[in-house]
Amino acid sequence: MKKVLVLEDEDNIRSFVVINLKRAGYEIIEASDGEQALAQLRRNPDVKVALLDIMLPGNMDGFEVCRRIRASDSQIGIIMLTARTQEMDKVTGLMTGADDYVTKPFSPAELTARVDALFRRAGGEAFNDSGELVQPPFRLNTRNRTLEKNDQRIKLTQVEYSVIKLFMENPGKALSREEILDAVWGRDYFGEVKIVDVNVRRLRIKIEDDPTNPCYVTTVWGFGYKWGV
């Protein structure tokens, strides 16, 4: 069963989300505050995607919940539910480890498309790979979806994995932001191209010797990025 956790304190929004995701074939676990959400995840370790509202009652907001989930699970897909006025929250949310965000009010089609995309990435990808991409000091294992740098494991989210895989498959080639967005998020993605920049920034923090002066993922000004090992 495809399980999704929905953390949202406003009953009418949560019902709207739950009804639409059920209609799309998902099993839903509900929570209305952060403590509940973390408890539900402990009880349901097979949850593959979590939707997290940001403004919540109690002493934990959605960012904190996201941070705590990520501290123990790099594989689960996380989508933040943001309000239109919380422009900066999108970036903050992605930097705390979320994979995506949906801005309220959202349509059922948009929401379902985002959840579907994360599910595809979290396990649906076919095992049609030979197994390894090696470009010293990096070694990407495409069977168990892990990255090593100088034989040290680097923990990646599903999205970060997809981004670096794309880079490693295209060494030395300048990739436009749109190209990266299409390849990683899919052509039916509704979001903004800025999500590419945020994920690249996060990836750099994990893989570069000096993230402020990147030498692996370099910027191609006004265009996109290039993998230069």
Cβ at position 118, least distance to Ca ion in Å: 21
133 and 142 in contact (C-beta within 8 Å)? yes
Asked whether position 89 contacts Ca ion by CB under 5 A, the answer is: no
Residue 89's φ and ψ, nearest 5 degrees, are -60, -30
CB of 5 to Ca ion, least distance (A): 15
Nearest distance, CB of residue 56 and Ca ion, angstroms: 6
Output the residue with the shortest Cβ distance to Ca ion.
55
Spatial contact of 188 and 111, defined as CB atoms under 8 Å apart = no
Question: Pairing mode, if any, of strands 49-53 and 3-7?
Answer: parallel
Q: Report the residue number, 8 or 99, with the smaller CB distance to Ca ion.
A: 8
Residue span 40-79 as binding mask against Ca ion, x where in contact by CB under 5 A, dash where not = -------------x-x------------------------
For residue 43, the 8-state DSSP code is H
Q: Is 180 helix (H, G, I), strand (E, B) or coil?
A: helix
The two most distant CA atoms of the chain are separated, in Å, by: 51
CB 60 → Ca ion: shortest distance, Å?
12
DSSP state of 137: T
Q: Is 95 in the site for Ca ion (CB under 5 A)?
A: no
Binding site for Ca ion (CB under 5 A): 9, 53, 55
